[in-house]
């Protein structure tokens, strides 16, 4: 449907309503998942995501970026003047939203399989309908912007250092004017130079009405770029070394007389 007036008036780019998602992929912690989460993201703001269970952060960010399906609730997004609910969309529609509306800054190591740095950045622009000349020109501009040496542009990412790979990742994410950017990963792992580049890019895009959500664990970084924080309440925390409840119950039953 067309984006409602009150959504446009309040500059809401994304709205989560009573989101539920079970933790189907256990990590270092076992927890039941996300329950009854609701919030909005407005244009021009950066939101720090906080939870005592890191897996909860990753689960929510994966859901917001459209990488996983939620069990219940809604994730509304303003996509080219239409108010769409991610859980109700086809995979093709979600691909379109990921291409134009919701950007994702993930792990840099995943880019090592790309053919060349220039192809890695320009491929998404080609998918948006730009000509190769236009896509490569825009890619060169943003690669210059993140400070990657031009001699590396035609090399395969697998030959780059991790620092250089981070620069490619920034260029790839910020080459497109997304209205929402999900930052999945710890900013603390970036070198100081790339942290400064990311801060500059975020501040620039906030001025263009883009909103951001991610983990900004450093106090000084969070105070510099975040307007507010979002705390996720995890219903139950179960340490890794404690067996599941059903296993304890079976054990008790087995020793009952």
Give pLDDT tens digits for 117-170. 999 999 999 999 999 999 999 999 999 999 999 999 999 999 999 999 999 999
Instruction: For residue 16, name the pLDDT band (cuts at 50, 70, 90).
Output: very high
Cβ–Cβ < 8 Å for 57, 21: no
Asked if 57 and 76 sit in the same domain, the reply is: yes
Asked if 146 and 21 sit in the same domain, the reply is: no
Asked if 90 and 193 sit in the same domain, the reply is: yes
Q: Tell me the pLDDT tens digit for each residue of 33-76.
A: 899 999 999 999 999 999 888 888 999 999 999 999 999 999 99
Please classify residue 102 by burial: count the beta carbons closer than 10 Å to its beta carbon, then call 0-12 exposed, 13-18 middle and 19+ buried: buried
Domain count for the chain: 2
Least confident of 214-218, 221-225, 232-236, 248-252: 248-252
Question: Where in the sequence is the domain holding 118, given as residue range(s)?
Answer: 108-177
- On whether residue 2 sits in a domain, the answer given is no
Cβ–Cβ < 8 Å for 102, 182: yes
Asked if 63 and 74 sit in the same domain, the reply is: yes
Asked if 33 and 91 sit in the same domain, the reply is: yes
pLDDT of the residue at 233:
78
Cα separation, 51 vs 112, whole angstroms: 30
Asked if 75 and 191 sit in the same domain, the reply is: yes
Asked if 254 and 186 sit in the same domain, the reply is: yes
Cβ–Cβ < 8 Å for 32, 235: yes
Residue 132: its H or E element: helix 132-145
Residue 154 makes CB contacts below 8 A (sequence gap 6+) with: 116, 117, 118
Cβ–Cβ < 8 Å for 199, 220: no
Asked if 35 and 135 sit in the same domain, the reply is: no
- On whether residue 253 sits in a domain, the answer given is yes
Asked if 96 and 184 sit in the same domain, the reply is: yes
């Amino acid at each position: 449907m067309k984006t409602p007036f009150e959504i446009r008036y309040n500059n809401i780019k994304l709205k989560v309503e009573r989101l539920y998602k079970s933790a189907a992929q256990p990590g270092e912690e076992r927890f039941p998942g996300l329950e009854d989460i609701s919030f909005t993201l407005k244009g021009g703001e950066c939101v720090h995501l906080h939870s005592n269970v890191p897996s909860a952060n990753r689960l929510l960010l994966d859901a917001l970026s459209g990488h996983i399906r939620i069990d219940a609730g809604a994730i509304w997004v303003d996509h080219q003047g239409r108010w769409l609910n991610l859980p109700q969309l086809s995979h093709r529609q979600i691909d379109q939203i990921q291409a134009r509306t919701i950007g994702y800054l993930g792990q840099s190591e995943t880019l090592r399989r790309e053919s060349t740095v220039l192809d890695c950045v320009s491929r998404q622009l080609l998918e948006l309908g730009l000509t190769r000349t236009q896509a490569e020109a825009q890619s060169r501009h943003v690669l210059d912007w993140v400070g990657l040496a031009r001699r590396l542009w035609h090399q395969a990412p697998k030959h780059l250092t991790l620092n250089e790979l981070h620069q490619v990742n920034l260029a790839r994410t910020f080459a497109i004017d997304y209205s929402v950017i999900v930052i999945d990963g710890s900013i603390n792992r970036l070198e100081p130079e790339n942290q400064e580049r990311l801060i500059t890019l975020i501040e620039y895009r906030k001025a263009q009405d883009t909103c951001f959500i991610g983990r900004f664990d450093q106090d000084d970084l969070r105070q510099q770029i975040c307007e507010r924080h979002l705390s996720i309440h995890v219903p139950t925390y179960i340490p890794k070394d404690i067996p599941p409840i059903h296993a304890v119950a079976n054990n008790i039953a087995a020793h009952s007389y």
